[in-house]
Amino acid sequence: MEMSWSHTPSSVWWALEASSSGVSLEGDQNSPPGADPHGSMRARSPTLRPRPQMPGKEVTNFYDYAGEGEEGEEDTEEWILQQPNRGAIRVYQPGSTYSEPVCCTTDTTADTIIARCLAKELVVHYGSGQNQWIRFDQKPLEIQNGFLRSLGYTDPRRIQLEGLSSDLGHLFRFVTGYEQGKRPEDKVQLACPLRVKEMTGLSGWNKRFCVLCGARLFIFSTSRPKGKPALVLDLTGGKVLEHKSKKSYYCVRVSASRREVLLSFDSRMEQSRWLERAAKVVSKHPLEANLSGNSLQRVPKYFFLNYYLVALNLSRNFMKENYSHTVSSRLGSKVRVIGWINNLAYFRHLVSLSLSGNQLEQFPVSLCTLFTLQELDISCNRIKVIPQEIQRLTNLTTLLLHSNHLTSLPRGLVDLRRLTTLVLAFNRFIELPPLLKEVPSLSTLIMSGNNISSIPEDISLIENLRHLDYRLNQLKSRLPSSTQELPALSRLNLRGTDIRELDMKLLPFVEDLNCSDNKLKSLTLYESPSAYTDSF
């Protein structure tokens, strides 16, 4: 239970609206007239509109000669209608009603638009409340055109130009992040002015406006909800108890790890109502959830009330991905369903996630938006490829990928500068992935049960390596001389590798060595002139 200023719901700030910055246009060979081919971006006013290129002047950016008037819109429409693969999408910032049109083609990928918007991600928000994260290689204009066709649009010209209209945003919009105020925890349960006293200071009772919103209690500085709240308490893992005071009989004590406040009510009924609602929030929002071995295809809906979940175990289930926001019911109607793997991106505070043993054939790319993840277990599946987007999980320290069908690793893995434990056991590697030498933070590397025939000479570049496991491979050569340059290596497992010769002088720092179930013919124990060598 802690104080937090982040993720404040838009439903609380009645008088506030987030401001948004401009977005540039597509900068390829199909760019609008005068677009910057290098994709440069300039901030501009919401009232600015694109204007046709001025005679005798070289335009380096589509908005260099922006000004008021309708000729800019006409010029944009003219550019779009020149080719059938052109169009426009409107990009919003989370919580904002202001948007900017971005001209693009059906070949323009999401990563290009994300770069132009100086954003980290792009999300489709449907009017039904469903959020869908867009992969880097997906094409936003194609997604928008498909949505329009599903609504019954058939005129190609109208489909091309519909993206310029802001009216589409009520049903379908592109947002540079997940929409705030669209989640269950953003639902205001109780709101009214109360007498409040902080127990950690000398202040007395003061009339303040209080809002119970999801798992958080917002306390404003005055009796009216103006500006930002003076105090935000996260009720997750906290305590809400009835309290009796000499000056106020009907009280509720709200305890945080560092803060404690008293709320005073005018009647027993009002006290009971707040106490009941707040107590339910505390009891229904555990920080960890273990749903392993339950034959689940989806996470139960009520779990999504806990936005602050930090650990989720979904191992040994049948979890699936589903990017459709509705499914057909037995009665033929469309019913909105959540709980799929791609909906896990909702948990923006998740630190540990296990999807081990779910018969997954593809790595769920949507997991790469869980930027807070430190431990990811996706072992015991049928995954053949790890996507490049994994580079976005920069907080990852432990990655368990064993018992899959992997033969290589993506280049993006080198961006995981905090990765210390990597388990690649029982896959289909024929060599140690070369890129691992560029991940110097690795301290534990498990490569057992693959088809590897040698340990590379440059393994010494993984300078912090402490635990190396090569058991159940087919090592046909001696240990490389570079292993003696691993000062941190203290544990080595070579069990069942068919190694024939072992020179201990190459392992001066190893304290735990397992070389059982081999066919050793030579074991060198010392390097001195009187070195002892035993032959078998």
Task: Give the pLDDT score at 400.
Answer: 98
**CA 9 → CA 143, 200, 390, 443, distances in Å?**
28, 26, 29, 41
Instruction: Residue 35: name the closest of 88, 109, 91, 93 by CA.
Output: 88
| Higher-confidence position of 152 and 312 | 312
* Model pLDDT, residue 351: 95
Asked if 383 contacts 361 with a C-beta cutoff of 8 angstroms, the reply is yes
How confident is residue 521, by pLDDT bands cut at 50, 70 and 90? confident
Q: How far, in Å, are 12, 227, 415, 448 from residue 171 at the CA level?
A: 23, 30, 37, 51
pTM given for the model: 0.55
Q: Are 273 and 190 in contact (CB under 8 A)?
A: yes
pLDDT in tens, 323-344: 654 444 333 434 455 788 988 9
Q: Does domain 187-282 have CATH number 2.30.29.30?
A: yes
pLDDT tens sequence across 138-187: 999 999 999 888 877 889 999 999 888 887 887 788 998 765 444 444 56
The more confidently predicted of residues 238 and 295 is: 295
Question: What's the chain's Rg over C-alpha atoms?
Answer: 29
Mean pLDDT value across residues 87-101:
83
Angle (CA) 148-152-157 rounded to 5° is 60
Nearest to 325 by CA among 486, 52, 45, 124: 124
Position 394 pLDDT exceeds 60: yes
Residue matched to tokens 């080198």? 414
Burial of 55 by CB count in 10 Å (0-12 exposed, 13-18 middle, 19+ buried)? exposed
pLDDT range class, residue 353, cuts 50, 70, 90:
very high
Q: For residue 132, is pLDDT > 60?
A: yes
| Cross-strand partners of 44 | none
- Give the confidence band of 72 by pLDDT, cuts at 50, 70, 90: low
Whole-number average pLDDT of the chain: 78
Mean pLDDT, residues 1-20 taken together: 31
CATH for the 1-183 domain, from 3.40.140.10, 3.30.70.260, 3.10.20.90, 3.30.9.10:
3.10.20.90
Indicate if the pLDDT at residue 35 is higher than 80: no
501 pLDDT higher than 70: yes
- For the stretch 228-275, pLDDT in tens is 788 888 787 678 888 887 777 789 999 865 788 999 998 888 988 888
Write out the DSSP string of 284-298.
T--SEEE-TTS--SS
**Per-residue confidence (pLDDT) for residue 21, from 0 to 100:** 32
Percent of the chain with pLDDT over 70: 76
**pLDDT computed for residue 134 by the predictor:** 86
One CATH from 3.30.110.40, 3.90.480.10, 3.40.50.620, 3.80.10.10 for 288-535: 3.80.10.10
* Token pair listed for 64: 């260099």
Domain regions of the chain by residue span: 1-183, 187-282, 288-535
Q: Poorest-confidence range of 80-84, 180-184, 358-362, 512-516?
A: 180-184
Distance of CA 171 to the CA centre of its chain: 24
Q: According to the model, what pLDDT value does residue 433 have?
A: 95
Judging by beta carbons within 10 Å of its beta carbon (0-12, 13-18, 19+), is residue 329 exposed, middle or buried?
A: exposed
User: Are 187-282 and 288-535 the same fold in CATH?
Assistant: no
Q: Are 35 and 23 in contact (CB under 8 A)?
A: no
CA separation for the pair 174, 242 (Å, rounded): 46
Q: How far apart are CA 502 and CA 42, in angstroms?
A: 63
Average pLDDT on 453-463 reads 92
Phi, psi (degrees; rounded to nearest 5) at 86: -100, 160
The structure tokens listed for 338 are 């959540």
Terminal-residue alpha carbon distance, the chain: 63
CA gap 481, 243 in Å, rounded: 70
**Residue in the structure block whose two tokens are 């202001």:** 98
**What is the mean pLDDT of the segment spanning 474-482?**
87
pLDDT-derived band at 58 (thresholds 50, 70, 90) equals: very low
The confidence score (pLDDT) of residue 330 equals: 37
Q: What is the pLDDT of residues 73-93, one digit of tens each?
A: 678 888 899 999 999 999 988
| Percent above pLDDT 90 for the chain | 38
Cβ atoms of 515 and 502 within 8 Å: the answer is yes
The answer to whether 118 touches 41, Cβ cutoff 8 Å, is yes
Structure confidence by residue, pLDDT tens digits, 205-231: 899 989 887 778 889 888 887 777 888
pLDDT band at 283 (very low <50, low <70, confident <90, very high): low
Burial 151-187 (b: 16+ CB within 10 A, else e): eeeeeeeebbbbbbeeebbeebbbbbbbbbebbbbbe
**Does 61 score more than 60 pLDDT?**
no
pLDDT number for residue 257: 58
Mean pLDDT of 421-436: 96
Residues 527 and 194: their CA atoms lie apart, in Å, by 79
Q: 6 pLDDT band (50/70/90 cuts)?
A: very low
Strand partners, 191: 211
Residues 528, 504 contacting (CB under 8 angstroms): no
Nearest 5°: CA angle at 356, between 355 and 361? Answer: 80
